[in-house]
Structure 1
Amino acid sequence: MKLKQILKKKLMLGILKSSNRKNPFNIDKADNFQLLDSAGENMTDSHYFSAHNQSGESFFFRYAKRSNDTIEVWFCLKNSDGAIYVNNQELFQSKHCPASVKCITAGQSINLTFTGNVVLTQKGENDVLSLDKTSIPVKCEAHFQASMPPFDFTTGLDPTYIAEALSKERWTKTFWNNLRTNRQVHYEQAGVIELTIEMNNQKQVIVFSAMRDHSFGYRDWNYMNRHIWLMVIFEDGEILNLNMVDYPHMRNLMTGYQSVNGIHTSLKANSNLKELGKDGHVPETVIAPLTINQQEVELCGQREFAIDFSFEQGKYHIFEGVGTYTMNNRRGRGILEFGFNSDISRWK
């Protein structure tokens, strides 16, 4: 590392530590945050739940309120027989939204509901789902119960990794402005989801190991170049999370953590966006070398299916993949999320 970068890293590390001391994470405030319609352009309050079990069943749900009086809803359920159902409308006016998320006890329990229409799907090229035309009414209620403390990305990650990534960028006026603007509160928490669903004149209760993700603040999807999110729930209850994000002002941000028995440990990615999924879809196989507790391991993900979600009138696409994982002969299930700006020239 060159002397200039060493000095920049040291300075940035001091800035990050000072900011974390002044702005400690508060789960009560975060879980009870309410986004106002007058909050300003590109403000979002997003609740995301991802749930999986070792029987091959998966469920993910997103409830994202925007500051323009609209709510975005994702609903996806994969049954044990392999059938995959998704909602065929994503964006709703707030007063007509068929879904809800309600905090019961901060840091402990959340209820979510969805009463609307879903459709069956078929796998196409790169396992991306296409939607059937016949709508199926569904009523869903789910309860999330935490099993570990929350992990806050701002205060929980090892700031050394963030400082190193930021030290590689050019510190211009634009850099500092974008760093201040693109700020969010973002945290995750492991738990259990009990899902009760009524569909096709049948009522079913499914229990999953789960992860919830809550973020709120400024989000301009078209500002992002690319991103990757890998999330694994292992059979033994361990959680692993890896994020790689490419912003114009921050091209090399890679963060992640491991949660074991409620203890969160930052991890280091030994790969980058140039090496993982650069073809505009979720790769069939993802291999990500990592360093955890000074030990090198290899995380391997295998795609089952993916759904294409578009943002900003198609300017940014998220392919939400579901699949299986292995690491050190251990198995798990989870999410393989790959996001791409529609301007291919902005990809690495």
Structure 2
Amino acid sequence: MAPLIIGVSAICIVLVLFSRPRSRQGLAPEGGSRLKNALALLLTRLGPKNPDDWRTPQNSDVRVPVPEGMDEKNYNDSWVFQGADAGGNAFLTRLGFRNAGREVELWFWGSHNGERYANDQRSILRETDPDPDGIRAGGLAYEKLGEGLWKITYEGSLNGSPGKAELLWEADAAMFFSPEHMDSLSTARAMAEMPWSRGYFEKMRRENAVRIEQGGLLSGTIEYAGKKITLNMKGIRDHSWGRRDWSSITRYMWTVFALDKPTEVAGITAKYMAISPVNYGDVFNRITTGWIAGDNKVIPVAYTTDMARVGNDGVIPEHYQLLFRSPAHKPVSINIHRRQPEMSWIVSDRKFEVNEAWCGLEVNGTKACGIAEFGYSADRGYFRPFESAKAEPG
């Protein structure tokens, strides 16, 4: 009898370990078997933790040089400031330094009263980076004036006419720092969904990047073609550094927004939020990043609607629903209205599109607005009708 009991028990243990936990909300990532989830969680928590290396939050306000051993070609030091208001107006600017600063992706666009304006020179190629510490290129510059205070200036072409801008961005909430705030269990489940091999883990080790995001107030003026636009918006700043190979990304969504007033969400009084599911090709098919931030606290968004349900045919919907969940909290549903005009950026030798537009939504009864960004790879089967916007070398 004892051998029979031991045998049955062993079979039950094996079945439990290799079975997949039942999904209760249908949100992604769901993970793999219980055993694979546990192993992935262990690997995630054993990841790089050295506070003295390039992954430190002290790098959030400075240009970060290419870390030793990282591929220069796909190293990315990217800076974003953006904002939106309840009237349907939006603004976003980005400087992306690649290949040790020899290539720069330069974005400056907005929508005002239904009219879009955008810079004309969107890519800069140069033999060397003339100012490795400066956050500037092509007439666009970001300057830190003090703790949480930034000046944004631009002088160049907008819609084919001379333009200029002078803006201030001031921090208004706690800062998200990806190594600290991303949910390790969610990351582990995304890893557990993938087929494992030596090659897989080598690819995963190469995809090494850090991101900070922080809510704030954006104000100032933009002038072009005899027009003067005054901005008073809520938005975020974003700084990411590390490896970013556009060709490795299949698609992603990035919905970032400010609430009209502080609102209870997932146990904190929230002011700003971001939700971003990503299909990172051969590394993570369904990883979720994001955060909820108040004055002094940040918690992660760990799970969200599977992207296969939103724009997976390459058609970006005007109206769509997202569910998201933070650890130990119930899912929250939001209905998003994405409004024209949109802005399309073509990168990676015209093989990847980043498409941005104003969005309005409601969270737990409070209205919010921001920018809804969709990214699609032509290399991986998304042959969208890419806009004629060109990334022309400067």
TM-score bracket, normalised by the shorter chain, equals: 0.7 to 0.9
Gaps of 5+ in 2: 1-14, 19-32, 131-136, 263-270, 384-394
Higher Cα Rg, which structure: 2
Distance 1:234 1:20 in 2: 34
Q: Deviations over 1:151-200 (max 9, x none)?
A: 01222122111111111212211211111111111110111112222334
Percent identity for Structure 1 against Structure 2: 21
**Do the aligned partners of 2:235 and 2:257 also contact (CA within 8 Å) in 1?**
no
Taking structure 2 as the reference length, what is the TM-score of the superposition?
0.77
SS in 1 for 2:46: helix
Residue 335 of structure 1 deviates from its aligned partner by 1.6
Give CA deviations for 1:200-249 in whole Å, capped at 9, x if unaligned: 44555422111011111111101111111111211115212111111222
Q: Distance in 1 between matches of 2:323 and 2:301?
A: 11
Aligned residue number for residue 300 of structure 1:
335
CA contact (8 A) 2:66 2:75 kept: no
- Cα drift, residue 317 of structure 1: 1.3
Match of 1:287 in 2: 321
Which segment drifts farther, 154-163 or 88-97? 88-97
- Aligned position for 1:100: 141
Give the counterpart of 2:75 among 40, 43, 56: 43
Question: C-alpha separation between the residues in 1 aligned to 2:35 and 2:150?
Answer: 44
Instruction: Report the more deviating stretch, 318-327 or 88-97.
Output: 88-97
Residue matched to 1:16: 44
Give the aligned partner of residue 332 of structure 1: 368
- Give the distance between the partners of 2:273 and 2:324, measured in 1 at CA: 11
Tell me: CA distance 1:13–1:256, structure 2 relative to 1, closer, same or farther (3 Å).
Answer: same
The structure where strand makes up a greater share of residues is 1
Aligned partners of 1:268 and 1:84: how far apart in 2? Answer: 34
Is the Cα–Cα contact under 8 Å of residues 103 and 111 in structure 1 kept in the other structure? Answer: yes
Residue aligning to 2:378: 342
| Structure 1 residue 143 corresponds to structure 2 residue 168 | yes
Secondary structure, counterpart of 2:261 in structure 1 = coil
* C-alpha distance in structure 2 between counterparts of 1:316 and 1:299, whole Å: 28
Count, aligned residues: 330
Query: Corresponding residue for 2:356?
Result: 320
Q: Which amino acid aligns with 2:213?
A: E
TM-score by length of 1: 0.86
Question: Which of 243, 251, 261 pairs up with 2:295?
Answer: 261
- Could you list the per-position Cα deviations for residues 259-309 of structure 1 after superposition, in whole angstroms to 9, with x for gaps in the alignment? 133321223434212111112142111201122452222111111122221
Give distance in 2, aligned partners of 1:85 and 1:184. 31
CA separation of 1:173/1:339 partners in 2, compared to 1, >3 Å: closer, same or farther?
same
Partner SS state of residue 314, structure 2: coil
Code of the residue aligned with 1:46 in structure 2: it is S
- Which residue in 1 is equivalent to 2:268? none
The answer to whether the 8 A contact 1:35-1:65 is kept is no
Contact 2:90-2:357 within 8 A present in 1 as well = no
Moved more, 24-33 or 334-343: 24-33
When residues 148 and 272 of structure 1 are mapped into structure 2, their CA distance, relative to the original with a 3 A threshold, is same
Q: Which residue of 1 aligns with 2:155?
A: 115
Aligned counterparts of 2:194 and 2:380: Cα–Cα separation in 1: 21
SS at match of 2:306: coil
Counterpart in 1 of 2:312? 278
Q: Indicate the residue corresponding to 2:103 in structure 1.
A: 70
Show CA shifts across 1:116-167 (max 9, x none).
Answer: 1111xxxxxxxxxxxxxxx121111222111122101222122111111111
Match of 1:153 among 160, 174, 178: 178
| Cα distance in 2 for residues equivalent to 1:100 and 1:205 | 19
Deviations 1:13-32 (A, max 9, x none): 23333336434863322321
Do the aligned residues in 1 keep the contact of 2:84 with 2:371 (CA within 8 Å)?
no
**Aligned-residue CA RMSD in angstroms?**
2.5
Residue 44 (structure 1) shift? 1.3
Evaluate the alpha carbon distance shift between residue 17 and residue 115 of structure 1 in structure 2; reply closer, same or farther with a 3 A threshold: same
Q: What is the Cα deviation at residue 311 of structure 1?
A: 1.5
Unaligned runs of 5+ in 1: 120-134
Q: Which moved more, 1:33-42 or 1:6-15?
A: 33-42
Taking a change above 3 Å as real, the CA distance of residues 196 and 39 of structure 1, as seen in their structure-2 partners, is farther
Q: What amino acid is aligned across from residue 190 of structure 1 in structure 2?
A: G
Paired position in structure 2 for 1:241: 274
